[in-house]
Structure formats: structure tokens, C-alpha cells
Amino acid sequence: MTMKSISDYVHWKANTPAQQQKPFHAACYAPFVSILFDTKGYVRSCCQSLTHSIGNITKQSLKEIWRGEVNQWMRRRMMADDLPEGCATCKWDIERGNFAQVFAGQFDHFSVAAEQPDWPINMWFLLSNSCNLECVQCYGELSSSIRKNRDRLPPLRAFLARENYRIWDMMIDDNLRTSSHIVTNGTIFNERVKRVVSSLPCSVSISLDGATQQTVESIRRNSRFEDTMINIKKFQEHATVGLSFCLMPQNQHEFADFLFLAEQLGCDASANTVFHPAQYSLCALPTDELARVVKAWENRSPEVLQRLQVDRHRELWACELSRLQHWVECPEGPPTGTYLTGISPRMDLGLGSRTAPIVVDHPSAVSVGKRIASETRGVDELGEAARLGVAREVLAKWSGHIRMDQAVLDEHDVVSCDGGVFGGLESGIVNGRPLSVLLMLLRERYGEDVSILSEECTSAEMDRTMEFTNLREEKTQLRWKVLSPADRASRTKRFLLAVRDHTG
């Protein structure tokens, strides 16, 4: 497969009606039109830009963030046909020629009047992780139930201390007519919900993830399919309703029926690509298993296209089928670096999926890619014991400490360590936890704002340096190495971690 460039994508996009109306071109218009607030007060350009925040609303005003240097840097990168490392999801689709599926395209329909707009025209609010469901593909930072029951962690202490209803109530009381889009699991419809959707011009997206009670309730745990169907009708009395579907191995067989159900209910349908956790990603399936899925879809495709009445739904079916076909033809696994920091902490280590170092060109980043490349040159050819020795030496030199923390990751990336401390955390807290939870704990220990400074991934090891910044602007750098086993039959991996003292 010939890898595509961002310039190829921009050239393709130049012929679209939305692009032709813009006064200037950019690979993505998110930094020019959009802003997202998360549960900690960190601000990002979009829900996919996870490795870099552009500020924190608890310390800066909206004006300072929107017109600040980091957001200006983001805009310059976009206008230069370049995507920062935080845009790994879009980069991955672009490189594989999936231009119509690139998430950045969602911002093309917004009007952009200037290269330095005064204010955002699209705002996302993720103000709370309160959720009564424990969807199998979700994680504790977006579901309080998962955080409590699955991750065994205390409730998040949201810096923003303002819930969605407070914003909606203010909008209603001030008689604002700002269009709103609300994403919900559809399990609750009460008088307070009714007041919001009947008083504001809004659309509602209800996550369903299936077409039958058995599938929906097995994925969206704690939900009741029958109640959700009733609530869809109630929402439709006051707002435009759409249904969304997280496409996974566990529910892919119902995607066509989901589209039929959406049309039966008079709802628009949409689909989300799941990359992580790997067990819920079609992209991570063995090629032969994915090929069987594609074959079943291809066999059913004529019937599906004939039965669907809405052009957009036909396009959605064809688009998702094309994506799966592409993954069979070019099996590479999900993109790495996408969910390694920021909102989603679940990880796919991606060993062997990338051979070139990534250097993050960010105002706060350190260009260390060449250093890593020189340090690790030839390591792939060494035996496991020798590779472990080299890794220890590299981390000791980097951190200035002879001792570094060691652990083992099993086939499910669950951490097992013997020492008293791992990454500054008591080993009793870390031991037996998934790597996803470890990253959450590290963020709570060192700072919620995380940037990937460098990363190199080969068939032998992954080498990543990250910088954590807390609300006092104290910075801590962590560097880890994950070594793949020399015995390919083994599922365990060596995990080494070093911490640099606070800086800044």
C-alpha cells in the first residue's frame, strides 16, 4: 500500500464544496472554530486531540486560551498542511487513504471568516463523568460507575464543579437560542430533561450499540433496551434524535439491523470506530477473522442497500464496509499514540506497528527522536537479556538514577511488580491493575495535562517519553520501555519506567 500524505488529503479536500467557501485552506479547521472542556478543566480543540491541551479554564480565561500561543501554534500547523501528534487518529486515516472518514472533516462545514477568529463557534462540554452505565468499551474517566466498580478508584474531583444542567438552565433563563447537541445514553427522561429539550433548539444523539435487547444490554451494561426505546419516542416529541453505534466485533453482526431500526424510528444513524481496548476493536482482529466478517457483510450488502431508504444510511453502510475491506487488505492494527494520554487512557502498545521515531514539535516538547534512534540502534538484534541491560542503561543515563522501576505485563497488559514503589506509586496500588489504570494513577500523581515528547516503536520495544504538568505548572517527565519477549510464544512483556525530577 502506498501511504498517503496530509498534502494528498488537503488536495482531495480542496474540491469539496465546503472547502471552496473557505478564505484559506487548512488540514483541519478545529483550532479555528472549536473548543472542548473536560472534567479537569483542560481545554482541547476536539475530542480526538488527546495528547495536548491548549490551556486550563481553571487558570486562564477563555480569551487567553483561545488567543494563546498554543492554539496559535495549532493553527499554524494546520495551515502548513501538518497535523500535531495529538491528531494521530486523523493521521492514521489519512495515511491509509480513508479521506472521507477523517474526523477532521466534521469541522469543514463551519464558517471560518479569518485566520485569527475572535471566538469559537463550537463548544464541547465534558463536565462530569457521572454515568449509570458500564459499557464494555468505555473507561472510568467517562463513567463514574466503571471508575468505582471496574477500576476500583475513588470518584473524580472535577475542577469545573458545574454540571450540564447548570449551563442549560442559564441558557434557558437568559432566553438564548444557541443550537445544542446532546449526547446521552437515553436511559433517563424526566421533567428536568423535558424542560431542557423543549426549551432549547437542540438535537439529541442516543448511543445504542445494537439492534436487539440481548446485544444492547450485553454491551451497555445496566441499561434496559425496552426503556431506551420508550425514551427515544419521548425525546422525539421535543427534539431531533439520532442513534449512534460503536462498531465492534461483539455487535458488528447487527449493524445493518441497527440502520433498519434507525429508519423505522425516524432517526439519523451514525457509527463510531473503536480502536481501544483492542478486544473491542475490529481493526485489532486477526486478519482471517476480520476477513470472515467482511465476507458476511459483502454477502448481505445487496439486500442492505436495497432496503435502506435514506441515502446517508446507504453511504454509511458502504463507508464502514469499505473501511473493513481496507483493514483486511492492509492489516496493521489500530493506530498507536491515539489514546495514550488525555481523555481515554486505554492502551494498545502497538509493538511492531511503527518503525520510525516520532518527534513531537510542540512549544513544550523536547526534540529527542534522534537521541532515541541513536541509543536504540541495533537493539532489535540483541537477545532478551542483552536488550534488558541496554534498556536499563539508557533509562539510568536519561533519569540520572541508577535504579529504575520494573514490572511485567501479561497478555491483557495487566501490571505485575515486586518492588515497593513503581513510578512513584505504592506497588500495592499498581499491582494487578491494567496499564490503562496505571496511566490514570500517574496522571493523578504527577499532573493531568500530558504530552508525548517522543516515541519509537519497533518489533523489539516501545520507547516513550511523556511530560506531566500539574496545576502548579510543575512538570515531571516519565520514560518507559516495553520490551517484547524473545520467545514469540510468550505473551508477557518487560516494562521499565524511569522518572525525572520536577522541572519548570
Domain boundaries, the chain: 6-122, 178-329, 358-499
300 vs 185: CA distance, rounded Å: 29
Q: What pLDDT is recorded for position 479?
A: 92
pLDDT of residue 296: 97
Residue 18: which of 111, 89, 85, 141 has the closest Cα?
111
Say what the pLDDT of residue 444 is: 78
Q: Look at residue 394 in the predicted model and tell me its pLDDT.
A: 92
| Superfamily per CATH, domain 178-329 | Aldolase class I (3.20.20.70)
The radius of gyration of the chain from alpha carbons, rounded to an integer in Å, stands at 23
SS3 416: strand
Contacts of range 419-422, beta carbons closer than 8 Å, 24 or more positions apart:
422/497
Q: What phi, psi does 123 have (nearest 5°)?
A: -130, 130
The helix or strand, by DSSP H or E, that contains position 412, with its residue range, turns out to be: none
First and final CA of the chain: distance in angstroms? Answer: 44
Distance CA 54, CA 70 (A): 6
**Cα separation, 359 vs 411, whole angstroms:** 29
Place of cell 464543579: 161
Q: How far is CA 272 from CA 101, 161, 169, 403, 428, in A?
A: 10, 29, 30, 43, 36
32 phi and psi angles, rounded to 5 deg? -95, -20
d(CA 31, CA 53): 11
Cell numbers 491509509 correspond to 96
Q: Give me the tens of pLDDT residue by residue for the chain, a chain 504 residues long.
A: 567 888 899 888 888 887 778 888 899 999 999 998 887 788 888 887 766 678 888 889 999 999 998 899 889 999 998 887 678 778 878 887 878 778 888 899 888 888 999 999 998 887 765 665 556 666 555 554 544 555 444 443 332 335 778 888 899 999 988 888 888 888 889 898 899 999 999 999 998 999 999 999 998 888 899 999 999 999 999 999 999 999 999 999 999 999 999 999 999 999 988 876 667 888 878 788 899 999 999 999 999 999 999 999 999 999 899 889 988 887 655 554 443 322 222 223 332 222 222 333 344 433 333 344 444 444 444 577 888 889 999 999 998 887 778 899 887 778 888 767 888 888 888 888 777 668 777 887 888 777 777 767 777 788 888 888 876 778 899 998 988 887 767 778 899 999 987 654
pLDDT of residue 262: 96
Judge whether 149 and 139 are in contact, CB under 8 Å: no
- Which CATH architecture does the domain made up of 358-499 adopt? 2-Layer Sandwich (3.30)
Check the CA dihedral 28-19-270-182 and report its sign: positive
Instruction: Check residue 474 and give its pLDDT.
Output: 85
> Which residues lie below 8 Å from residue 300, measured CB to CB, with a gap of 6+?
256
Residue where the block lists cell 479521506: 99
Q: Detail the DSSP E strand segments found in 292-382.
A: 358-359
d(CA 369, CA 359): 5
Nearest to 75 by CA among 25, 117, 31, 110: 31
Helices 311-329 and 287-307, interaxial angle, to 10°? Answer: 160
DSSP-assigned letter for residue 237: T
Tell me the backbone φ, ψ of residue 270, rounded to 5 degrees. Answer: -140, 160
Identify the pLDDT of residue 308.
96
The predicted structure's pLDDT at residue 276:
66
> What's the per-residue H, E or C state across 173-236?
HCCCCCCEEEEECCCCCCHHHHHHHHHCCEEEEEECCCCCHHHHHHHEECCCHHHHHHHHHHHH
Ramachandran class of 63: left when φ > 0, alpha when ψ lies in -120 to 50, beta otherwise? alpha
Query: Measured between alpha carbons, how far is 338 from 91 in angstroms, rounded to an integer?
Result: 10
